[in-house]
Structure 1
C-alpha cells in the first residue's frame, strides 16, 4: 500500500541544521500494523505528517499504490494526540465534519456516521459537547471522524497517552478489531513499549537520526487480546524493544 523510500527530514535552526532521520525505508501493508516508538524529538510525529501528506519530504519519496503521495489523497486519515475536536460542535457534528467538508448530504452523513458511533459505543452521546466527555470518549469521537472518511490507512499520534490504563487497553483492543474488520493499514506513534508491542506487527524504533525496524510476529493481529498481554512472548518482545531503545 505505502512504500517509504530513503526518506530524510531535518530542522533548520539559526546556526545549523539538525537531522531528524535520513534514508528511512519501510513498507506499510493492510493488516500489518506498524508501531513507531522513540524518545521525544526523534521525528515520530514528523514521520506521521509526512505519511499524511501534510508535510513534504526533503529527500526520498513516499508512494501510495505506486503513485507519489501529494497530500490530495483521500484514503489517509490522521488522528491527533489531543483529539482536534471543535468545542462548539456536538459529538455527531464533530464526527461528521470531514464528510460535510467533502459535500456529503445530510442523509448520507447519517447513514455513514451513526453505525460507526454505534461500533465505538458512543451513539448515546450524539448531542453532547466535547467539554461533557471523558478523555476516552473524546478519543473515540476523533477516531469515528477519521473512520467516517473510509480511509485505507489510519495514522494515530499517541492517541491513548493521556488515558487511564483500563480505557487505554480497551481502545487498543477496539483499534485492532476495527483495523482487522476493515483491512486498514495502521501506523501508530507511542512512547509506551507495551503499547508498541501489542498494536504492532512491526516496530519502527527511532533514535537520534537512526532507526531499526523489528518484526513482532508469532501472534497475528486477529489473535491479540488479554491473554496475549500476559504471555511470555509478549514480555520477550517488550524486553527486545527496550534493549533497542537503550542502544
Structure 2
C-alpha cells in the first residue's frame, strides 16, 4: 500500500489532539484546522510526538496570509522602528457571526468540546492581533458567556478592545437589515481597517504553503492557544 504523506484533520475541536496523535504515530505529517488543540499541555505533548515519530504538525492560520493584514504588519513595524517613545496604537476589533438554534444543540456550544467562543470563533483573530501587535502583557474580560466575549488586550504595540459574538442582536442595524449574518470591523487610531475581502482563497494558499515547506507549525500556533486557554480560565 502506498504511504500517506499528509493527514488533514477537520473534525470537532475536542478530537483534534487524538486525531493528530493518530496521524503522527502512523507515519503521517498532519494538517489541522483551528484551533489546533484546546490546551497548551496538549500542544506540548504534540511537540514530543513530533520528535518521537519524526513527523510534523501544521496549523491553518490563514489570516497570516491575508494580503491586507500582511501590509498592515509592515506598516505597524515601520511606525515603531527607532521610536521607542511612540504611544501605543488604539485598536478595536468587532466580529459578530450570528448562529441559528442548531448551534446551541451542537458540540460547538459545549465549552469542554469547542473551547468556547474564544477558541471556536476568536482564535484566528487573536492569532492575527498577536502577530500584529505582540503577545498581551495583561488582559481583562468584561463579558464572558457562551454567546459573547468582550475584553481588552494590553499588547506591546497596541491597546486593544475586542468583541466576539454569535448573537444576532449584536449585528449593526444596517447589517441586519441587509440580511447579512456576519460583520467584522477593525479600527486603528480611529481609522477603519478593511479586511472584508480577500478570504476566498486563503485556505488554498495555506495548503500550498505547507506543501512548499513554509507552513505554520506548533510553535506558531502556541501563542493564540495560550491566550484562549487563559481567557477561558477568567470568569
Q: Is the TM value for this pair above 0.5?
A: no
Q: TM-score, with normalisation over the residues of structure 1?
A: 0.24
Q: What TM-score do you get using the length of structure 2 for normalisation?
A: 0.25
